Amino acid sequence: MKNKLVFAAGMAAGYVLGSRAGRDSYDKLKTKADELWNNPKVQETVADTASTLKHKMPEVQEQAGGAVKKAKESVSSALHRSDSADDAKGTTSSSAATGSAATGPSGGNPAKVEDPPFQNQDDDTRPDTV
């Protein structure tokens, strides 16, 4: 919801600022942007960058694939260790593997939840029965 509000505020600010600047300022800005994009030096840099990316892409894909495989193995081994520890304690491993909110910091034991003490015993806003 927060992202939607930020987006709407940005759209409103852009509309107000754009309408104050007028169409003439927008056309000047667009013309300058087109001139910059069509500049031969900019296009040469774009072509060089695209060429470099095409040559480096297989190496980058291989490294990314290796990183994904390593992360998958780490997560899998961590889950198996957690399952083994829970089985040794006599608890079920499904709550630890799913990461449910009913588990404590150790992963398998239910979290102990205590109500905070009332700060002011004479407070009229607290319920009569506890």
Cα 67 to chain centroid distance, Å, stands at: 19
Which pLDDT score, from 0 to 100, does residue 93 have?
Answer: 46
Residue 24 lies in a domain: yes
Residue 100 lies in a domain: no
Residue predicted with more confidence, 89 or 71? 71
Residues 6+ apart with CB under 8 A from 93: 82, 83, 86, 87, 108
Which pLDDT score, from 0 to 100, does residue 84 have?
Answer: 73
Do 45 and 63 lie in one domain? The reply is yes
Domain count within the chain? 2
Residue 21 lies in a domain: yes
Do 22 and 49 lie in one domain? The reply is no
**Which residue type is seen at 74?**
S
Which pLDDT score, from 0 to 100, does residue 78 have?
Answer: 85
Which pLDDT score, from 0 to 100, does residue 83 have?
Answer: 73
Do 62 and 48 lie in one domain? The reply is yes
SS3 103: strand
Orientation angle between helical segments 2-37 and 40-89, nearest 10 degrees? 150
Residue 75 lies in a domain: yes
Q: Would you give the DSSP letter of residue 104?
A: -
Q: Residue 30's domain spans which residues?
A: 9-38
Q: What is the pLDDT of residues 91-127, one digit of tens each?
A: 554 444 444 444 555 555 555 556 555 555 555 555 5
Q: What is the pLDDT of residues 23-68, one digit of tens each?
A: 777 788 889 989 999 999 999 999 999 999 899 999 989 999 999 9
Do 46 and 33 lie in one domain? The reply is no
Residue 28 lies in a domain: yes
Q: Which two tokens stand for residue 12?
A: 């409103």
